[in-house]
Amino acid sequence: MCGIFAVINDKSNNAGQTIRQGLKRLEYRGYDSWGIAVQSDNKIDLIKYVGEVDKTADNIKKLPKSIVGIGHTRWATTGAVTKINAHPHYSTDRSFVLAQNGIVENYEELKKDLTQKKYRFVTQTDTEVITRLIEEELTKNNDLFSAVRQAFLQLKGRNTIIILTKTGQVIAARNGSPLVIGLNPESNEIFISSDVLSFAPFADKMIIIDNNQLVNCINGKIKIFDIRSGQENKYGIENIDIKNDRVDKQGYAHFMLKEINEAPYVINQLLKQDIGAYNELAAAIKKARSVYTIGSGTAGVAAAQTAFYLREYAGINAIYLVGADAREYYELIDKDDLFLAPSQSGETADVLEVLEVVKKKGAKIASFVNMSGSMMTRLSDYKFMAQSGPEICVLSTKVFDAQIAWGYLVAKITAGKTREAKENLRNLSVQIGNYLGNNKTKIQELAKYLLNAHDIFLLGKYQNFQIVREGMIKLVEATYKHAHAIPAGDLKHYAITLMEPGVPVIVVSSNDKVKSDILNTVYEVKARGARVIGISPEFDESFDFHLEVPDSGETSAILNIIPLQLLAYYIALMLGNNIDKPRNIAKSVTVK
Ligand code: GLU
């Protein structure tokens, strides 16, 4: 899930510094290592480091003045996290450098073949195989652009690459992982990156690169080609609509805390949207043969909650699919089916892979995405933008809130209850706002209470089952503690064996039709000595700790995720974890 960033015609003549800033904004995609290469005087200078992109420009000073360069921030898939494996990678004669986002699935086979041809490898990455493969192609035809094209065609898997030559030419190719071009018509600067956000402060316009396209940039002139045919493609230039989005912490200690506090804002953003588009989607839902929802990780939980809302409030038999595990459905998908896909980035490889199959079968796709210019939006027949503002913390919080609020809204509109849904969401945003303002101390107290716990169990049912799953994800991601979400009623079938004195069990319940069922489970765990933490509007004697939440009726599941997000935040804070960038994960998972 690496991030790629390039600048061409850098107006400050300090390409290294511009790229460093771009990489900093792409760091959510990976922070194992980073590297920057710039071109000047018919040579390429390169720096590489393990760890997060420098906050200061100190290391950049080692690079010469330059107007063109490429950079990379890595989330290692192949080869350890070491300086030598950091991108970009030099060609053997140092005439070009290359950086990659993706996984070359046939890299072992290619490497074996190239090794037999006497190519030497200095890294353990799959990336270096692409570099050597281009060198090999160059021996057949001494034109770099065709060599890149020929090499790229031999790669299996979802890959995007970028190349800088010692003459200042930049070539990029996309198949799967994201790639966008930013333009600043005033300064003539060109940016090539994995997302729009990274160059939004510097550019006004963008060109979205499609899969199987190749970009060639010589002397500041861009040309786009189809990789397979080699034919030049026309391209459209679009305005960048996120220009004024702020990406600072606005006084909060961490982006995670800032973004949790933006829940009321993201719900209100939803309420401002054009209802006509929702009506069209509602009609498609009613007409569809089968309705599926799909997502990965937190967005997968949002997809599951959306399916719940469609079943519960619209009487639609919606089926939830896990992005990475939907293969057995391929044969069952039909042109009359409809897929709903909530996604933060719109670039999640596991989901895109399924949606590409779905599209080929002629089924329709509706997506709800937070990032502009994504492949998922481009694939969709019904395009919804979350407009939640940039979510910088690697852990998704506010976008999850927006996604499940969207699922609720879509379900209610499908049921013909638009006014009621909007009213409920408007009230919910006020209730969340009040809750956020008044409950910090109590949640910090609970965080302290759970600080030494080794395992944390979460129980939920009905509208709160997916909420405890998402609470589990937040706890695991932020605190590195073992958390385990269980459908409350299922506990007695297996996990009850784990209920011993002192085990913390968080129970999330609402004033709904399953409230008494949940309490029965609570009594069962209580009888075995568990410490029960209730997150609910009403107190129960079985609770050892009670986090009171307002009762927002039908939307109460959406409210209930807020204390769980805050809890994960405060435990992580007390443990001294790197909250905005937890170990090993990246935000936008663009590899399979
Ligand atoms: N496969 C490359 C590496 O491990 C790129 C990884 C990625 O894009 O996440 O360095």
Residue at 154: amino acid letter: Q
Cβ–ligand 1 distance for 162 under 6 Å, the answer: no
Peptide bond into 342 cis (omega under 30): no
Residue 251 alpha carbon to ligand 1 centre in Å: 34
Query: d(Cα 180, Cα 192) in Å, to the nearest integer?
Result: 6
**What does the pLDDT average to over 62-84?**
96
The region, left, alpha or beta by phi > 0 then psi within -120 to 50, assigned to residue 498 is alpha
Give the mutation target among 125, 129, 193, 588 for probing the ligand 1 site: most ligand atoms within 8 A of CB: 125
Q: What is the pLDDT of residue 244?
A: 60
Nearest CA to ligand 1 atom 9: 1
- Number of neighbours of residue 556 by Cβ within 10 angstroms: 23
Smallest CA-to-CA distance from 208 within 364, 38, 379 is with 379
Is 537:555 a contact under the CB 8 Å cutoff?
no
156 is a catalytic site residue: no
Give the helix ranges, DSSP H, for 367-464: 375-379, 398-414, 418-438, 440-450
3-state secondary structure of 408: helix
The answer, yes or no, to whether residue 167 has pLDDT greater than 80, is yes
Residue 125 alpha carbon to ligand 1 centre in Å: 8
Q: Which atom of ligand 1 is closest in space to residue 87's alpha carbon?
A: 10
- Number of neighbours of residue 291 by Cβ within 10 angstroms: 25
> Lowest mean pLDDT: which of 21-25, 57-61, 123-127, 472-476?
57-61
Give the pairing type, strands 180-184 and 205-208.
Answer: antiparallel
Banded pLDDT at 243 (limits 50, 70, 90): low
Is 301:470 a contact under the CB 8 Å cutoff?
yes
Residue 376 alpha carbon to ligand 1 centre in Å: 21
Smallest CA-to-CA distance from 447 within 575, 323, 260 is with 575
**pLDDT digits 0-9 by tens, 196-235:** 989 988 999 999 999 999 999 999 899 999 999 999 999 9
Give the mutation target among 126, 159, 162, 193 for probing the ligand 1 site: most ligand atoms within 8 A of CB: 126
Query: d(Cα 572, Cα 151) in Å, to the nearest integer?
Result: 45
Peptide bond into 185 cis (omega under 30): no
Q: Which atom of ligand 1 is closest in space to residue 586's alpha carbon?
A: 9
- Number of neighbours of residue 317 by Cβ within 10 angstroms: 10
383 is a catalytic site residue: no
Smallest CA-to-CA distance from 89 within 61, 65, 67, 119 is with 119
Banded pLDDT at 537 (limits 50, 70, 90): very high
Cβ–ligand 1 distance for 102 under 6 Å, the answer: yes
Q: Which atom of ligand 1 is closest in space to residue 103's alpha carbon?
A: 1
Smallest CA-to-CA distance from 50 within 72, 28, 19, 68 is with 72
Task: Give CA angle at 453 (450, 459), nearest 5°.
Answer: 75
Cβ–ligand 1 distance for 489 under 6 Å, the answer: no
Banded pLDDT at 246 (limits 50, 70, 90): low
Active-site residue (options: 2, 364, 412, 474) = 2
Q: Which atom of ligand 1 is closest in space to residue 77's alpha carbon?
A: 4
- Catalogue all structural domains in the chain, each as residue range(s) with its CATH number: 3-239 (3.60.20.10), 248-438 (3.40.50.10490), 439-582+586-590 (3.40.50.10490)
Q: What is the pLDDT of residue 372?
A: 85
Cβ–ligand 1 distance for 560 under 6 Å, the answer: no
Query: d(Cα 366, Cα 295) in Å, to the nearest integer?
Result: 12
Residue at 521: amino acid letter: T
Query: d(Cα 485, Cα 444) in Å, to the nearest integer?
Result: 21
**pLDDT digits 0-9 by tens, 107-157:** 999 999 999 999 999 999 999 999 999 999 999 989 999 999 999 999 999
Nearest CA to ligand 1 atom 8: 101
Nearest CA to ligand 1 atom 10: 76
**pLDDT digits 0-9 by tens, 429-471:** 999 999 999 999 999 999 999 999 999 999 999 999 999 999 9
Question: Across all residues in the chain, what is the average pLDDT?
Answer: 95
Percent of residues, the chain, with pLDDT higher than 70: 98
Cβ–ligand 1 distance for 32 under 6 Å, the answer: no
Banded pLDDT at 37 (limits 50, 70, 90): very high
Is 295:306 a contact under the CB 8 Å cutoff?
no
Q: What is the pLDDT of residue 587?
A: 75
CA dihedral of residues 92, 97, 101, 102 (deg, nearest 10) = -20
187 contacts: CB under 8 Å, gap ≥ 6: 9, 11
Residue 495 alpha carbon to ligand 1 centre in Å: 38
Is 152:214 a contact under the CB 8 Å cutoff?
yes
Query: d(Cα 39, Cα 213) in Å, to the nearest integer?
Result: 24
Residue 101 alpha carbon to ligand 1 centre in Å: 5
Q: What is the DSSP string of 472-534?
A: HHHHHHHH--EEEEEEGGGGGGTGGGG--TT-EEEEE--SSTTHHHHHHHHHHHHHTTPEEEE
Query: d(Cα 357, Cα 360) in Å, to the nearest integer?
Result: 5
